[in-house]
Amino acid sequence: MPALTIDQSNINTLIFDFDGTLAKLNIDFQEMRDAVMEVVLSYGISREEIHAHFILEMIDSAFGILFQRSETEARRFFYQTNAIIENIETRAALQGELFEHTKDLFTSLQSKEFSCGIITRNCTKAVQIVFPDILSYCPVVICRNDVKNVKPHPEHITLALAKLGASAPNTLMIGDHPIDIHTGRNAGTKTCGVLTGHCRKTDFIDAGADIILSRAADLLNIVK
Ligand SMILES: [Mg+2]
């Protein structure tokens, strides 16, 4: 692991993931996956036709198949499955909470004049439940609803960078899942894995993370 520190690498912008990085949410992804698959099957699409690992991509894949048949049917499917995932996300948000150091982290980063953004595959409603005053701490928050192509597609992070007037080589993407590392690498940022979600250090090494920290708040130990 290279001993990269933020002050050595011209990093002036930090983009954070939300769930597992800044907050604890415990979304039941298996329940979500099963409920979405049930709807997929009810539209006469087989499991074998869906070549996607993540739930949002499963929905996109089925939407594409249905769209060939009927745009109306495809849109109905989209709203139905999005209602299911939003319900599960909202329920998790009501029981979720910010990590203890999240607000202090943003306050300190603001005082050090870092530009900060948050990108998340979660919905706006769930994020606002967990962190109602989020915009007082972080000026740019891009949820699933705000972008056409969610991470790991680079559009998700490049939209945040455009809003901040920041550039990818001067940015560090921080997240608790290899998908966050892939997102940063796809967009050309430096990347940092944190161990506050369900992934291990080896997952981040395999994903090619530049830095691995125990928690996001430890960023303060490597910035001047
Ligand atoms: Mg996460």
CA of 216 to the centre of ligand 1 (A): 12
CB 65 within 8 A of CB 57: no
CA of 177 to the centre of ligand 1 (A): 6
CA of 36 to the centre of ligand 1 (A): 20
Report the distance separating Cα 148 and Cα 159, nearest Å. 10
pLDDT at 223: 81
Which residue, 59, 38, 62, 36, is CA-closest to 49? Answer: 62
Token code pair at residue 61: 């894949």
Cα 64 from chain centre: 23
Structural element, H or E, at residue 66: helix 55-69
pLDDT reading at 3 higher than 60 = no
Superfamily for 6-24+97-221? HAD superfamily/HAD-like (3.40.50.1000)
pLDDT at 51: 85
* Complete DSSP assignment for 98-145: E-TTHHHHHHHHHHTT-EEEEE-SS-HHHHHHH-TTHHHH-SEEE-GG
pLDDT tens, position by position, 167-204: 999 999 999 999 999 999 999 999 999 999 999 999 99
Which residue, 118, 102, 101, is CA-closest to 15? Answer: 118
Which residue, 137, 138, 132, 159, is CA-closest to 148? Answer: 159
pLDDT at 4: 60
CA of 122 to the centre of ligand 1 (A): 9
CA of 111 to the centre of ligand 1 (A): 25
CA of 180 to the centre of ligand 1 (A): 8
CA of 19 to the centre of ligand 1 (A): 4
CA of 175 to the centre of ligand 1 (A): 6
CB 10 within 8 A of CB 82: no
Task: Compute the CA torsion angle 157, 159, 165, 168 (nearest 10 deg).
Answer: 30
pLDDT at 213: 97
Q: Tell me the domain boundaries of the chain.
A: 6-24+97-221, 29-95
pLDDT reading at 224 higher than 80 = no
CA of 204 to the centre of ligand 1 (A): 13
pTM, rounded to two decimals: 0.92
CA of 67 to the centre of ligand 1 (A): 30
Which residue, 20, 72, 22, is CA-closest to 199? Answer: 20
pLDDT at 58: 95
What is the CB-side half-sphere exposure of residue 75 using CA atoms within 13 A?
3
CA of 109 to the centre of ligand 1 (A): 20
CA of 73 to the centre of ligand 1 (A): 31
CA of 182 to the centre of ligand 1 (A): 13
CA of 222 to the centre of ligand 1 (A): 21
Q: Is 77 strand, coil or helix? A: helix
Token code pair at residue 41: 């099957």
pLDDT tens, position by position, 66-91: 999 999 999 999 999 999 999 999 99
Q: Is 87 strand, coil or helix? A: helix
CB 117 within 8 A of CB 164: yes
